[in-house]
Structure 1
Amino acid sequence: MSDLELDAIDLRILSALQSDGRLTNQELADQVGLSPSPCLRRVRRLEKDGYIRTYRAVLDRDSVGLGLTIFVDIKMVKHSRENAAALRDALIAMPEVVACHMVSGNADFIAEIVVSDLKTYERFLTDQLLTLPMIGDIRSSFSLTRVKSDGALPLTHLKRELAGEKVRELLKHRS
């Protein structure tokens, strides 16, 4: 499915569900201006087509005892497809790694890690990360204050594309 196959109602559904994934179908239908049956069909299509990947609760890190967030820049000892894949797989398997990106620049990967305290991070670093043979260098940055996390994806670019497509359609029918 391409971006242009989304219409204004699809975008309203996606925005509403990003704000509150626990909306009932009736509440969602009311918010987006549909009756419940067509609304449910659209949600199912958005799920099937991969626009909606999953539903989950976002937990408060401090409340569950994971008050320390560390961003770790990781450089590989030797660049190769195999090393990158092995490191990616190892990082994915670690529950403390809540987000990870392969990046360009000074690091090869940046991992966001959550743990309870500094002592726990020290154990994680020495017992798990530093034991990986493909890692050449690690730099840790500790989060002092979380300013924004778990934000909804901005969909304004899709709205602009949709508006542009409508204008093109109107112009096409005028000629």
Structure 2
Amino acid sequence: MESIELDAIDLQLLDRLQHDASLSNVALARQVNVSPPTCLRRVKRLVDAGWIERQMAVLNADKLSAHLGHGLTALVEVSLDKQGSEHLDAFEARAVAHDAVQQCWRVSPGPDFMLVVQARDMPHYLAISQALFTQDANVRNVKAFFATKRAKFTTTWPVLE
């Protein structure tokens, strides 16, 4: 990956794309006041340099849970008994490989990991917790918090002042 310096146009592109990655190149170019070829070249450069990790659709959680039954979101603190890098890496690998784990963060101080887990219902969460926590002898403590309302969810970063 090449290293690039971001200028005001790059920051505008990043801001617009993180709010709506479905914008056509022409519409995006118009919004940041550059030509479509310049816009395309700059976006490709941002992708190639790693500033844009990936583009994806953010699904409507309420509609999806009503349709699929994914009605339980758990925020889970996990503390390990041994914190050597090999133990942390092993738990992290298992957690990120599990489809129900939407996010996995190593944190400090306090627990070793914070997970965001999406389950259909409580029996499904129990199966997830047994697979991730109960069967691992190195998991010392698990504390789960179950979401009752999502007040805010965003993937955007404030890149413009």
TM-score by length of 2: 0.91
1:17 has 2:41 as partner = no
Q: Which residue of 1 aligns with 2:114?
A: 110
Q: Which residue of 1 aligns with 2:95?
A: 91
Greater Rg by CA = 1
1:2-151 maps to which residues of 2 (within 5 A)? 5-65=5-65, 66-151=70-155
> 1:13-51, CA deviations, whole angstroms, 9 ceiling, x for partnerless residues?
000001100000000000000010000000000000000
Partner Cα distance (1:101, 1:142) in 2: 17
TM-score by length of 1: 0.84
Which ranges in structure 1 are unaligned for 5 or more consecutive residues? 160-175
Amino acid at match of 1:146: R
128 and 103 in structure 1: CA distance in 2 versus 1, 3 angstrom threshold: closer
Partner Cα distance (1:56, 1:134) in 2: 35
> 1:70-103, CA deviations, whole angstroms, 9 ceiling, x for partnerless residues?
0100000112111000011001101111011100
C-alpha RMSD over aligned residues: 1.3
Considering fraction of residues, name the structure with more helix: 1
**Which consecutive aligned stretches of 4+ in structure 1 deviate over 6 angstroms post-superposition?**
none
Q: How many residues align?
A: 155
